[in-house]
Structure 1
Amino acid sequence: MFASGCGGTGETDHSQTGAGRASSTAGSSVAPSSTAAKGSPAQVGQRDIDSYVLSRKEVPGYSITAMQGRTPEGDEEPVSLSKGTVFRISPFACQPFFANVGSESSAYPQYGLAVDIVADDTIETTISLAAYRPGDAPRVLADLRQSAASCSGWAGPVDKAEKYGKPQLEAAPRLGDEAVEYKITENITEDDGKVMHVPYVYVTVRKGSTVAAFQVRGLPDKPPKVPTAMIKAQIAKVLR
């Protein structure tokens, strides 16, 4: 799916300049800031994000596979942080949805990132935990809400056969500081010309400067059920 970290062409810089840009070096670790102004949230870094990743003890019965970052069980993969340079898709109004889960295409610099697949025999959930500047994190969710009205669907950007329908906002769950839930359908044209409709559900939750995004894939023409208990377990760990 597009949101797990896609590449492409036509980069556009949406980041602020100067010190504090996130490094895209694999496995980089940005420590929390010790100079945050009194009353202001400290900058969350890679070590913090790694500490938020769920363990198998916290979600018994599920396997946890690291795509980026480190799990409590020691599974580790290189991290590639967004520098605020996005891979442009068309229409650009759909960009926030393309970039939502674990993507290097975020319009805002990241200071820590973990992407894991949490699965059992019945469902597979991609969980992305991303650290942003305290002022940028609320914009990630605001962009999703604003773009929902103008995004009518898109294709690509690499494989134009990958086509996605209009995002549909759902009632926002009461999680963290704020949350956004929406559905998107991927429309896949098979060799015989038939179109297969694969539904996805996304729940994106912000707590402070950390954004947790959950992606659940359903079966063709069968919407998935959001694993509420898993989401609550993850948000509770970010709150610790």
Structure 2
Amino acid sequence: MTRTARPILRIAALASGVALGAAGCTSGGSHADGTPASAPVSASATASATVSAPASTAAAQPAAPLTAAQLEGAALSAADIPAGFSVSAASSDEAFFASASDTAKPASCQPIADMGADDGAIRPTATADNNYLQSARAADLVFGRIAAYRAGDAEKALADLRTALKSCTSYRSTTKSDGTVTAVTTRALPAPSLGDAAVAFELTGTSGGKAMVIRMTEIRVGSSLVLFAGLRVHGTGAADIPAALMAQQVDNLKAAASS
């Protein structure tokens, strides 16, 4: 994503968060998941339980989050993507999901703006970002992020997003950098049947008479999230997020978690 494209996202006040909800439902055959996990057991409590309980019934320890190196290895490469696409790793100032640049009102809608963001209420421990271009559709941009979370946080982030989308069919979003206010509406989309749970939705933002549509998908794979956004920078309508990209990214992330 070029630097010249970022102001378009900021003006639309729909950048980064997204993060990433079929308006609160699990349509399209996605798993009925997303409920918050219980708080992790403290180290001392775990040690005590291990001593007092038989080995066969001792609680399993949560898996450690994937490392930055593991995520980078799982990120889609040129060999993974469909014909007609190109992929490039996004730098920190180009990553669509990096910053929760907008403040949502009412505050209950903030998980939409926080989707996958480094500075949201629930923060990933490591991330890897890609930008995708299509030779046949130069105006359509697709952005991807894979993000690792501490035990329970990925489930909570997805659950919070679902909860927000149930009531936030419309809200107002203010860009922190310049105070631009955007009226945002949400629309449910069928969620892909991928990973452990998934949500999908569409955001339409209108500011200064300019409207922009962003399609969003968030998929949980264990303690990690796969996030995609599709944006059409010229013309009308929205950019599709190719199913092949999402499926391959989920497969790569599963392989990284099992290795």
- The answer on whether the counterparts of 1:134 and 1:208 sit within 8 Å (CA) in structure 2 is no
Q: Does 1:235 align with 2:254?
A: no
Instruction: Describe the shift of the 1:164–1:53 C-alpha distance in structure 2 as closer, same or farther (beyond 3 A).
Output: farther
Quote the offset at 1:144 in angstroms: 1.0
State the shift of 1:161 in Å: 3.0
2:172 to 154, 158, 175: 154
Corresponding position: 1:205 with 2:219: yes
- Check 1:176–1:61 CA distance in 2 against 1; reply closer, same or farther (3 A cut): same
Residue identity (%): 25
Q: 1:183 to 1:87 in 2, by over 3 A?
A: closer
Q: Provide the C-alpha distance between the structure 2 equivalents of 1:203 and 1:116, rounded to a whole number of angstroms.
A: 15
TM-score normalised over the length of structure 1: 0.71
Letter in 2 for 1:136: D
* Alignment CA distance shift 1:197-1:134 (3 Å): same
Does residue 112 (structure 1) correspond to residue 129 (structure 2)? The answer is no
Indicate conservation of the 8 Å contact 2:145/2:226, yes or no. Answer: yes
2:162 paired with 1:145: yes
Partner of 1:142, secondary structure, is: helix
- Alignment of structure 1 residues 1-240 onto 2, 5 Å: 1=9, 2-4=14-16, 38=60, 40-59=62-81, 60-68=83-91, 88-101=103-116, 103-121=117-135, 122=137, 123-151=140-168, 152-158=170-176, 159-189=178-208, 195-218=209-232, 219-240=234-255
Q: Report the secondary structure of 2:248's partner residue.
A: helix
For residues 186 and 60 of structure 2, what CA distance do their matches in structure 1 show?
Answer: 39
| Contact in 1 for aligned 2:145/2:228 (Cα 8 Å) | yes
The 3 A distance-change label for structure 1 pair 86 and 134 is farther
Superimposed CA distance per residue, residues 58-83 of structure 1 (whole angstroms, 9 cap, x where no aligned partner): 114322222247xxxxxxx99x988x
**C-alpha contact 1:164 1:184 (8 A) present in aligned 2:** no
Aligned AA (2:124)? Q
Unaligned runs of 5+ in 1: 7-15, 20-36, 70-76, 190-194
Q: Which has the larger radius of gyration?
A: 2
Q: Cα distance, 1:38 vs. partner?
A: 3.6
C-alpha separation in 1, matches of 2:183 and 2:226: 22
Q: Alpha carbons of 1:56 and 1:95: their partners in 2 closer, same or farther (altered >3 Å)?
A: same
Instruction: Give deviations 1:91-145, integer Å, cap 9, x for gaps.
Output: 21221111214x2232113211112211113132110111101211111111111
Q: Which one has more relative contact order, counting CA pairs under 8 Å at least 6 apart?
A: 2
In structure 2, what is the Cα distance between the partners aligned to 1:49 and 1:112?
Answer: 8
CA deviation profile, 1:1-38 (whole Å, cap 9, x unmatched): 343379xxxxxxxxx9xx9xxxxxxxxxxxxxxxxx74
Call closer, same or farther: CA 1:124–1:86 in 2, change over 3 Å: closer
Helix, strand or coil at the partner of 2:226: strand
So what's the TM-score if we normalise by structure 2?
Answer: 0.66
CA contact (8 A) 1:114 1:129 kept: yes
Deviations 1:130-170 (A, max 9, x none): 11012111111111110012322222232343514122222
State the secondary structure of the residue aligned to 1:222.
coil
Does the residue aligned with 2:15 lie in a helix, a strand or coil? helix
**Aligned mates of 1:3, 1:196 — CA distance in 2:** 15
